[in-house]
Amino acid sequence: MTLLYALLAGFVFGIGLLLSGLANPHKVLAFLDLAGNWDPSLLFVMGGALLVAAPAFALASRRGRALDGGPLHLPARGKVDRRLVLGSLVFGAGWGLAGYCPGPALVSLSWGGLKPLLFVAAMVGGMALFEFIERRRQPSP
């Protein structure tokens, strides 16, 4: 049943990305272009997402378990550190250069084209590189 919930949540998320325009890199780049022809419409999409997510996270943290009764995995760390800041900068740079972030890039794969394919390949490569570096940083048992 958990897999069905995950599939449904992913489907709703993907439809939301398409309807909001977040899967369109030209719209995203226009939103990020504050000094040029700025398109503020995605600000309303993100604000709406925060209005839904904030109470949902508050409720989830009080419940301590998922709606299906399974374990709830919320971020444990609350502090801003060097790794978080650097990761945010890399994420923002990638988003600003390509107009994609991970979710919309995966949705854009359904349209075909080389740009989302290259972005997803680079994203997977970056994740693999991160895992490789993390494993090398940890002491051997």
Domain map (residue ranges) of the chain: 2-137
- The H or E element that residue 135 is part of is helix 114-137
pLDDT at 125: 95
DSSP code string of 1-62: -HHHHHHHHHHHHHHHHHHHTTT-HHHHHHHH-TTSS--THHHHHHHHHHHHHHHHHHHHHH
Contact, 118 vs 98, CB < 8 A? no
Chain-centre distance for alpha carbon 88: 11
Residue-wise pLDDT for 59-113, tens only, equals: 888 887 887 788 888 777 778 999 889 989 999 998 899 999 898 999 988 888 8
Q: What's the number of CA atoms in the CB half-sphere (13 Å) around residue 45? A: 16
Which pTM value belongs to this model?
0.75
| Cα gap 112→110, rounded to integer Å | 5
Q: How confident is the model at residue 141 (pLDDT cuts 50, 70, 90)?
A: low
State both tokens at 117: 């394919």
Q: Band of the pLDDT at 29, cuts 50, 70, 90?
A: very high
